[in-house]
């Protein structure tokens, strides 16, 4: 999150605090009131078959619906190579403050693994959520998925390609809606090193692309991009949205003027929410699709 680093004084600040950029943003968000009215009810819960862990955040108030709160699973970004759930509490707190029970999972990363390991981990997080979220105040019948950048890739792949959920024992139709923030969905041929590292060994590279798994059965999706995103270009969102619409699926798009790739995620935090209505739009879409 280079934009955030510049705003708070650059790399020297990160060195002095011992934080990553998302970790520093997470700390500032907590100080700025991002955790007001929400609580982390589970931390470091094991799931899946490869030692993955997750956290669960929820509103402090009792669920308003008899079946529990609507649920959001949020996957963070980092080019399939970086990131950890402990640095993205700001995203989980943001959605929890909107009335969702939020699952924040880790996943395996490059160079330890390659595609499709991180997608498989995403499906295992979905399986855990469906089986266990009721005990944390969430409704297993209203599960949505979201993520930023590489995390949006995971969320959207799970929404579009039924193979991964089926392999994890998750019934078709479990995902009721999704929000992809600045996600890569149509990026073959691979021209960035992180994509090459993550997907270059795939036997069928085109099969790695979310746009090639579009069908009319896709759950409703909100796809978010921004005009100043030079890392994951807006055509990823535009192309996928056109394909989904042509297939008869429900899809909406948002293109936030002036925001960079990192700033879309930053706008979830209490500190930088004035940059754009990313949280407001995402929460409104998910609530509309999971009433």
- Using one digit for the tens of pLDDT, what is the confidence trace for 60-72? 988 877 899 999 9
Kindly state the average pLDDT of the residues 37-59. Answer: 97
pLDDT tens, residue by residue, 226-266: 999 999 999 999 999 999 999 999 999 999 999 999 999 99
* DSSP alpha helix (H) spans, the chain: 2-7, 11-17, 21-31, 89-97, 117-132, 150-160, 162-167, 193-199, 235-247, 261-266, 278-289
Which domains are delineated in the chain? 35-289 (3.40.50.1820)
pTM here is 0.94
Instruction: Give the Cα separation of 273 and 260 in Å (integer).
Output: 14
Q: How far apart are CA 94 and CA 275, in angstroms?
A: 15
pLDDT band at 10, cuts 50/70/90?
Answer: very low
Q: What is the mean pLDDT of the chain?
A: 93
Cα(171)–Cα(141) distance, integer angstroms: 11
Longest dimension (CA), the chain: 52
Tell me the pLDDT tens digit for each residue of 182-216. Answer: 999 999 999 999 999 999 999 999 999 999 999 99
In the structure encoding, which two tokens stand for residue 161, read together? 């390609």
Q: Which residues contact 87 (CB under 8 A, 6 or more apart)?
A: 19, 20, 22, 23, 25, 26, 76
* Contact of 154 with 75, CB cutoff 8 Å: yes
pLDDT (0 to 100) of residue 12: 38
Q: What angle do CA 178, 231, 242 make, to 5 degrees?
A: 45
pLDDT attached to residue 185? 98
End-to-end CA distance of the chain: 33
Average pLDDT value for residue range 37-60:
97
Q: How confident is the model at residue 3 (pLDDT cuts 50, 70, 90)?
A: low
- Collapse the DSSP code of 88 into the 3-class scheme (helix H, G, I; strand E, B; otherwise coil) and give the result: helix
Q: What is the spatial distance between Cα 264 and Cα 142, in angstroms, rounded to a whole number?
A: 25
* pLDDT beyond 70 at 15: no
Comparing 27 with 9, which gets the higher pLDDT? Answer: 27
Q: What does the pLDDT average to over 33-52? A: 95
pLDDT computed for residue 30 by the predictor: 87
**How confident is the model over 77-96, as pLDDT tens digits?**
999 999 999 999 999 999 99
């Amino acid at each position: 999150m280079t934009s955030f680093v510049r705003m708070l004084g650059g790399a020297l600040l990160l060195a002095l605090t011992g934080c990553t950029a998302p970790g520093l943003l997470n700390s500032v968000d907590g100080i700025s009131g991002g955790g007001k009215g929400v609580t982390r009810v589970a931390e470091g819960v094991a799931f899946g078959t490869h030692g993955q862990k997750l956290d669960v955040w929820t509103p402090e108030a009792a669920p308003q619906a008899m079946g529990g709160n609507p649920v959001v699973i949020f996957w963070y970004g980092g080019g399939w190579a970086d990131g950890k759930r402990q640095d993205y509490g700001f995203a989980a707190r943001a959605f929890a403050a909107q009335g969702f029970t939020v699952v924040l999972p880790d996943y395996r990363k490059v160079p330890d693994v390659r595609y499709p390991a991180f997608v498989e981990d995403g499906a295992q997080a979905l399986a855990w959520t469906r089986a266990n979220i009721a005990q944390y105040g969430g409704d297993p019948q209203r599960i949505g998925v979201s993520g930023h950048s590489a995390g949006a890739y995971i969320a959207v792949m799970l929404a579009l390609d039924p193979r991964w959920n089926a392999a994890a024992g998750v019934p078709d139709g479990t995902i009721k809606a999704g929000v992809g923030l600045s996600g890569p969905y149509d990026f073959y041929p691979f021209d960035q090193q992180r994509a090459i590292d993550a997907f270059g060994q795939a036997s069928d590279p085109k099969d790695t692309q979310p746009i090639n798994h579009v069908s009319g059965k896709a759950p409703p999706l909100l796809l978010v991009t921004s005009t100043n995103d030079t890392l994951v270009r807006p055509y990823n969102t535009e192309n996928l949205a056109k394909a989904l619409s042509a297939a008869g699926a429900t899809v909406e798009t948002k293109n936030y003027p002036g925001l960079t790739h990192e700033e879309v995620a930053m706008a979830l935090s209490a500190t930088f929410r004035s940059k754009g209505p990313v949280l407001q739009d995402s929460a409104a879409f998910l609530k509309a699709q999971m009433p």
